[in-house]
Amino acid sequence: MAPGARVQCEQIELLDPDGRTSHLVARYTRRLQPAAGRHAVADTSVRTAGPGEAGVLGVAIGSVLLVVRVVRFARDGRPAAVEELLPPADRWLVRLG
């Protein structure tokens, strides 16, 4: 998204069936609607959990988190939404396709 663009941020905590936090999602959106279909790019990396994330996820500070960043584009090709998923690396396998 362009520097200075106004975005809305939504933070979501997703739960396992047993009520334990599964992973965190941060979603940044503009007024543009993402296009239907496969107009997205996903990248993966890793980083360590800070105190806030560790507390919510029930892991130790410094635990490895997977970072899956998905950029969804509007029909005109501009980024319309960015989602960052933070699942603990010891509980998840991420397959992009």
Domain boundaries, the chain: 50-81
pLDDT greater at residue 29 or residue 64: 64
Tell me, what's the pLDDT at 3? 66
* Interval 32-77: pLDDT, tens: 566 565 578 889 999 999 999 999 898 999 999 999 998 888 888 8
| Residue 15 pLDDT > 90 | no
Tokens of 6: 């106004």
**What's the pTM value of the predicted model, to 2 decimals?**
0.73
Round to whole Å and give the CA distance between 63 and 60: 5
Position 65 scores a pLDDT of 94
